[in-house]
Amino acid sequence: MSESTFLPQTSEEPGSILVVKMEGKEESCNQESSLHLRSCYSPETFRLQFRHFGYQESPGPREALNRLRELCGLWLRPEVYTKRQILELLVLEQFLAILPEELQAWLREHQPENGEEAVTMLEELEKELDGPAEQIKTLEL
């Protein structure tokens, strides 16, 4: 069985809707409980939903705030991760955001788990290109 989740527009793809296809998932993915949702979707899916949630998607301010709390919890999973790990996820997200688009795409494809791993990957890429850091900034992938 195949299931798709439609997410709001992203700045990376103006004018288009991001579609995340979930194949081979059980019927339980249609249930709304947090436990079932976590087993069906990746943290990246919840991060995108959290970051692109719009006020107009809820009937009122209280519901909007509650939905943001829910999406944030699904993404950061405070019952599983320590404060330090959650901070590292937030720092990694911001680090990716400040990189040139080509490097953002390359790192997202390689899925580093933390900031140190992201930096190591970029340093290894720099060595492969056999050039200074300036070369990595203008990389055309």
The mean pLDDT value for 122-128 works out to: 93
72 and 6 assigned to the same domain:
yes
Q: Which domain holds residue 48?
A: 2-76
Q: Which of 76, 96, 115 is the last residue of a domain?
A: 76
93 and 65 assigned to the same domain:
no
Q: Which of 76, 100, 117 is the last residue of a domain?
A: 76
Residue 37 pLDDT = 62
69 and 106 assigned to the same domain:
no
71 and 106 assigned to the same domain:
no
Express each pLDDT in 53-69 by its tens digit. 999 999 999 999 999 99
Between residues 116 and 10, the one the model is more confident about = 116
Residue 71 pLDDT = 95
Overall domain count for the chain: 2
Round to whole Å and give the CA distance between 36 and 6.
Answer: 18
CATH number at residue 127: 1.10.4020.10
Instruction: Indicate the pTM of the whole model.
Output: 0.63
16 and 56 assigned to the same domain:
yes
Q: Position of tokens 């992201």?
A: 118
| DSSP letters spanning 99-131 | S-HHHHHHHHHH--SSHHHHHHHHHHHHHHTTS
71 and 108 assigned to the same domain:
no
